[in-house]
Amino acid sequence: MGRSSLRILISLGSCLLATGCTLPLDATDAGTDAAIAADTVEGCALFAGAASSLGVGHSVDLPNGATLWTFDAALVDGGRADGVVARVQIQPGGCPGTLVAAQVALPPSATDTDFAVPLDLVRVGAEVWQFYETWRFAAGAPFGVKTVGRGIARWDGQAGQFTRGPLLWTGDRPAYGTSALVDGAWVYAYGCEVANDGWTRACYVARAPSLQVADINAWQYATAVGKFTGNPDDAQPILTGVGDISLRRHASGRLLVTYVKPLDSVLQVRAALGPTGPFSAPHALGQCQATSGTFCVGAVQHPELDGDDATIAVTFARASFDPLPAADRWPRLVRLTLPIALP
């Protein structure tokens, strides 16, 4: 099971245990999602035939021109790995993908009770960094796991994996690093948490000078559009009523935000005027082909595959509360036309 699916399940478990919690599964936000309608998109399985699900991947261009992908699931059935790092070759048309090589993305956790999953990737000059999240098996926690914290790891090209740095944030903070962006002299790390409605996400952003990303004291936290504080307790959400977001600079130069709401199947996009917003109204990119009892996660952007100013490349994956065949869980890549009405 991928991290995004697990986060949804934990949110559901916490919500059901909370007094007065409601799940607005069929509700829409007036003025935002009420007009959302989308054509069904199938995309293509990146690694059709793989024995295991890879989860939704993140990607970054390396200094040598190659593209590095990381995934949040093990490749070998029955094997335990703290994420998978892969060299991937994508065909000119976008699909299918060829898995050239794969190995563990992060060194194994120190204890059998902990495991790590890779989050988003950023490249700063010749350096490549991976945000990561550490989980712990914990009796009594929703679905038997809890988040320990989130940190950053540096790519070691010779070893072919990431070297973990310190945890930067505890598990009770927003999931900083779920999406990341380099903009000018700053690295921005985006993270969401369950919103006040108990279901959708409220998303925050932190930033650090690009040469100080491993220093917890260098990070600042957004309190409003373009305004930051050094105190993480004063952070304010920059976007609400969404799912876990992916924010990237598109081939057109625009900053775009993509996401799928929890238990939903519509891939949505918004434009942003800057790394902290403000953000446009949502527009539908497409509806992933979810069968009865399934939903979709991801809508992760891959700018290196955008192609032109009018299209956007994203990956998504299907998920379910019930076991799914491996073929139904393979990550899927799709190039979609950006809505004309998107600013």
Containing structural domain, residue 64: 3-17+29-337
Q: Per-residue pLDDT tens for 6-22? A: 555 544 444 433 334 33
Q: Please check whether residue 135 is in contact with residue 9, taking contact to mean a CB–CB distance below 8 angstroms.
A: no
The tokens for 22 are 């409601």
Q: Please, what is the Cα angle at 216 between 214 and 219, to 5 degrees?
A: 100
**Residues 6 or more apart whose Cβ sits within 8 Å of residue 20:** none
Q: Does the residue 23 lie in any domain?
A: no
Helix (H, G, I), strand (E, B) or coil at 282: coil
Distance of alpha carbon 129 from alpha carbon 139, whole angstroms: 32
β-bridge partners, 297: 317
Q: Per-residue pLDDT tens for 301-331? A: 998 888 788 999 998 988 888 877 777 777 8
The tokens for 83 are 């994420």
The tokens for 61 are 């261009």
Whether residue 96 has a cis bond before it, omega within 30° of 0: yes
Q: Does the residue 234 lie in any domain?
A: yes
Q: Are strands 40-41 and 283-288 parallel, antiparallel or unpaired?
A: parallel
Single out the residue of 243, 258, 244, 273 nearest to residue 338, CA to CA. 258
Q: Per-residue pLDDT tens for 193-239? A: 998 888 889 999 999 999 999 999 999 999 999 999 999 999 999 99
Q: What is the pLDDT of residue 299?
A: 92
Q: Please check whether residue 86 is in contact with residue 69, taking contact to mean a CB–CB distance below 8 angstroms.
A: yes
Q: What is the DSSP letter of 233?
A: G
Q: What is the largest CA-CA distance in the chain?
A: 54
Q: What length is written for the chain?
A: 343
How many domains, in total, are found in the chain?
Answer: 1
Q: Does the residue 260 lie in any domain?
A: yes
Q: What is the mean pLDDT of residues 234-261?
A: 95
Single out the residue of 225, 219, 223, 275 nearest to residue 247, CA to CA. 275
**What pTM did the predictor assign?**
0.86
Distance of alpha carbon 62 from alpha carbon 65, whole angstroms: 5
336 alpha-carbon distance from chain centroid? 18
pLDDT band at residue 139 using 50, 70 and 90 as cut-offs: confident
The tokens for 11 are 């949110």
Q: Does the residue 322 lie in any domain?
A: yes
C-alpha distances in Å from residue 320, one per residue of 4, 264, 291, 294: 11, 11, 10, 5
Q: Does the residue 24 lie in any domain?
A: no
Q: What is the mean pLDDT of residues 62-89?
A: 63
CATH of the domain at 185: 2.115.10.20
Q: Please give the mean pLDDT across all residues of the chain.
A: 80
Q: What is the pLDDT of residue 64?
A: 81
Q: What is the pLDDT of residue 222?
A: 98
